[in-house]
Structure 1
Amino acid sequence: MTTITIDPVATAGLVAREIRSGERDGAPTKIAVARRAYATDRADLWDAVTSAARIPRWFLPVSGDLTVGGRYQLEGNAGGTVERCDAPASFAVTWEFGGSVSWLTIALTEDGDGTVLELVHEAVVPQELWDQYGPGATGVGWDLGLMGLGLHVADPTGAIDPKAAEAWSLSPEGVTFSRLAAAGWADAAIADGDDPVAARAAAERTVAFYTTVPEA
């Protein structure tokens, strides 16, 4: 199993974050964009993010049909439909969780000897939920996923133990990482027009959500 040993400050700083306000089918949306470079070629990174054998090593077990029009399911998390696949450049899926549907696009761009991954997640977000948590509600989760992908790229033969990952998220290093990620998403929301005080308060609530041990 892969051991999570990272510099939380440096690793959080690898992600560029952006928030855009959009619209889909007449409904206002929030669009979270995360970009991170990986030290591997595009073919390998494509395989890491689309292979049913590799996705569980850094993210979650996945089942279903990972072809266009097929349905997928991540264990204990979202499922959806594969809407588009343009290997090895990009793919798009619906992201269905808790009765809501949002839209996820992953794009890979060659960058010298490495590859830049761009994740775009568009959702219709109830205003009360945005006021409470801001973009960090999903953004910090994506940061954790991109961190896991980085560990996998560095050691493709290893796998992240979910229990170890949960324990790490509650460690001082994990809390620091979540705090920095949430602050980065708050800054992105502020750049999109959110009130700075409200955005930073929402980020603090997001950190508490990700780093508080659930009651038994």
Structure 2
Amino acid sequence: MDETIREDESLAAVQRRLVDRELPQGPGRAAVLRRRLDAPVEQVWSALTTPDKIDRFFLPVGGDLREGGSYAFEGQASGRILVCRAPDLLRVEWLPPDRDEVDQVELRLSADGPDATWLELEHASVADVFTTDLSGDKFSPAIGWESPLHYLVEYLRGALPDRPSAEWYVFDEAEEIRLARLRAVEWAEAEARYAASRSAGQG
């Protein structure tokens, strides 16, 4: 097993942006995370859609895991599976346990040659949630996707234990807050670029 890379060492590997999105409930916004993975697209797709593999780098998941079915992450979101098109597109409803609005999360994969993949993770919502307060009082949910994306990369590298994450992951609140504040700076810059592009479009 390879040595695990620290989460703060992967900050520069993630491309971040905000975009406008039209959702069934109306106009919304989406946070998009893009990262290159050193694994074939079929391997990445399998990691993102196989329960026993998802459990290695994220959370336990159950349900009828097919297009038209439903899913539920333990202690996290649940919803319907809207699109499941191997090996390049997965779109699901995303209903967090603490909100009434149904968001959408989409994963888009594209091969970068035979041994690498570009992954785009898009989280869209009609709720006004994609705003980061650099004081640390309010974090965009986009920040919450960075750890699972980091651990997906580590899983694909073979750097994680081949066991459910609940058996090896230890939550460290102080470290999570430190990482969130580092990522908040990156997302605040993405939010500023988004606001500037909207202002330019309206000018």
Answer whether TM exceeds 0.5 for this pair.
yes
- Kindly tell me: are residues 4 and 164 of structure 1, through their superposed partners in 2, closer, same or farther at Cα, counting changes over 3 Å? farther
**When the two structures are aligned, how many residues end up with a matched partner?**
188
User: What residue ranges of structure 2 are gaps of 5+ in the alignment?
Assistant: 197-203
TM-score, normalised with respect to structure 2 = 0.81
Q: What is the alpha-carbon distance in structure 2 between the residues aligned to residue 165 and residue 66 of structure 1? A: 28
Q: What is the alpha-carbon distance in structure 1 between the residues aligned to residue 45 and residue 131 of structure 2? A: 35
Cα distance, 1:136 vs. partner?
Answer: 4.3
| Equivalent residues of 2:92, 2:105 under 8 A apart | yes
Q: Which has the higher helix share?
A: 1
Cα distance, 1:13 vs. partner?
Answer: 1.1
Q: Establish whether residue 158 from structure 1 lines up as the match of residue 158 from structure 2.
A: no
Tell me the alpha carbon deviations over residues 35-54 of structure 1, each in whole angstroms, 9 at most, x when there is no partner: 01111101110000000111
TM-score, normalised with respect to structure 1 = 0.77
Q: What is the alpha-carbon distance in structure 1 between the residues aligned to residue 178 and residue 41 of structure 2? A: 30
Paired residue for 2:174, among 170, 174, 178? 170
Partner of 1:101: 102
Partner of 1:138: 141
| Equivalent residues of 2:2, 2:157 under 8 A apart | no
| % identical equivalent positions | 29
- Kindly tell me: are residues 190 and 142 of structure 1, through their superposed partners in 2, closer, same or farther at Cα, counting changes over 3 Å? same
Q: Show the 5 A alignment for 1:28-107.
A: 28-97=27-96, 98=98, 99-107=100-108
Amino acid at match of 1:144: S
| Equivalent residues of 2:132, 2:139 under 8 A apart | no
Find the residue that maps to 1:31 and give its secondary structure. Answer: strand
Q: What is the alpha-carbon distance in structure 2 between the residues aligned to residue 145 and residue 46 of structure 1? A: 15
Q: CA RMSD for the aligned pairs?
A: 2.6
Q: What is the alpha-carbon distance in structure 1 between the residues aligned to residue 141 and residue 80 of structure 2? A: 19
